[in-house]
Structure 1
């Protein structure tokens, strides 16, 4: 970048549309009308996706703000981020959006999955053990949508979210990150 703040290309940088800075957290715009950065999802779109895909009431996310850092990595944060310091993380990663299908994170499923009423698969003990170990497995009994599901398992009488799986062609593919996998066998 040139010293005058331009891009060094001889043009006026103020004429260029805003772009995503992968090293900075930017709050998601509320609606499409508020969007400055092409391709950046809006808060409205994120809430609609959670409601449509998983049946999560948008009110669940009222106390939270959404931020993008990187290309489509959406973070959720309860609080006010007013310090301009460069930071590596803010809250937790909620989902990844700049790909063909939006994908919730395992941490998000664990935190917000209990609010889901749709596209939730309850795993039997052996299935949950395989899932948490990161193994893919046939699960023919699922009769819901294909795509990303929130996997749950009964713990102390309640269905507890344990992660995100990808269901395709009668197979549940575990998306539990390598660092979070557990060998419970």
Structure 2
């Protein structure tokens, strides 16, 4: 069964995407790396068939920005020149804004919901969102009266519990999570 993960994007990145008219584009490339600012998808356990939901924290709310189904994860250094065909190179060029100097992996995927900055998570859902790991389940910390007062528990790439994944995918209009 495929898993669904979130990855936190900065507000600066979101502003840059809006200013470069990426709203409405279907995400098909992500980059991972060794640092907290750009964590590795492989280290988080992401594999082909899984779905990625980029999220943002803005004005004490969580926003779901889009979705992408993972097709393959490639090593950045081995891939750029040697293994990518023209369509993949074009995708990389289109999404180059997501790339930073410390990139160590490229995640190529099938596009899902269009990128949008107008999908706030309702306060009641924010309080229920649950992540799961080998150590157990946890909810987002610092949620007070339906507002998110700190994004610290969202920094990274985290696997959602099935019910939370379903609800967030419904919010972006994707029903790709298998039952």
Range class of TM-score, shorter chain:
under 0.3
Tell me which structure has the larger Cα radius of gyration: 1
**TM-score for both structures, normalised by structure 1:** 0.24
**TM-score for both structures, normalised by structure 2:** 0.25
Of structures 1 and 2, the one with the larger relative CO (CA 8 A, separation 6+) is 2
